[in-house]
Structure 1
């Protein structure tokens, strides 16, 4: 009887762990999904950019050097010249007002940790505070 109870408890713990793991894995992949939906058509499937028209986000010195301005850049977009990896680009980047603060954090964390970028991840609180500087935080 005791053996059966122990087995049932172990099975319950395993089932709970698997369901939690699924929850986290969906959230963990949100950044990749958001990138594909909102960024890949311009910046490329692998963050490579488009020749001298659209800057890369892969192995990008701009991503590393402009941490504090990236959340506002995603929310509000950008106009005017920008230099990435020594190359000047001058195209309009549209803003993404449809993304929540937490989605922007997940999107940025995906870019920060992929394609040769090894930068510190953002917290949602940090992204909300940085978005507050450009009146872009939605508090979500």
Structure 2
């Protein structure tokens, strides 16, 4: 039986830790997609296509691209009143997500939208989202 040296044990331990961390990140990797499916797809569509002139699309949305600094608050607080997306006016209220999504979950949701269905926006950091939410009095610090 061959004995393992200290370097081999250290490397094995580091590899095991790295795989464990990868598992942690993998758990959250698709969180934005899951949140979208649970909370957003009923109105905005499974592929972000929206619903005719009632619900705005998120796919290839000029609104998402042009309004980065207000997206977190829009999700947390909802919106009432007219909104123009891809040159079409929408006037359907969107409910607030203030009681059931954390800052972290909103970050993951925004990143899913930013990188799906032809959107090519820069991903958000949790700090950026929390700062946006603090600006509208809506950060939960999580």
State yes or no: 1:111 paired with 2:113: yes
In the alignment, what sits opposite 1:87?
Answer: 88
In the alignment, what sits opposite 1:66?
Answer: 67
In the alignment, what sits opposite 1:21?
Answer: 22
TM-aligned CA deviation for residue 28 of structure 1: 1.4
Secondary structure at the residue paired with 2:18?
A: helix
Once the two structures are superposed, residues 51-98 of structure 1 have per-residue CA deviations (whole angstroms, 9 ceiling, x without a partner) of 111001111000000001101100000001111111111100001012
In the alignment, what sits opposite 1:132?
Answer: 134
**Aligned-CA RMSD value:** 1.6
Question: Matches of 1:14 and 1:48 in 2, distance apart?
Answer: 42
Question: Matches of 2:40 and 2:27 in 1, distance apart?
Answer: 19
TM-aligned CA deviation for residue 21 of structure 1: 1.5
Which TM-score applies when normalising by structure 2? 0.89
TM-aligned CA deviation for residue 12 of structure 1: 4.0
Unaligned runs of 5+ in 1: none
Secondary structure at the residue paired with 2:89?
A: strand
In the alignment, what sits opposite 2:52?
Answer: 51
Question: Matches of 1:106 and 1:29 in 2, distance apart?
Answer: 8
Aligned length: 139
Secondary structure at the residue paired with 2:130?
A: helix
Which TM-score applies when normalising by structure 1? 0.91
Secondary structure at the residue paired with 1:46?
A: coil
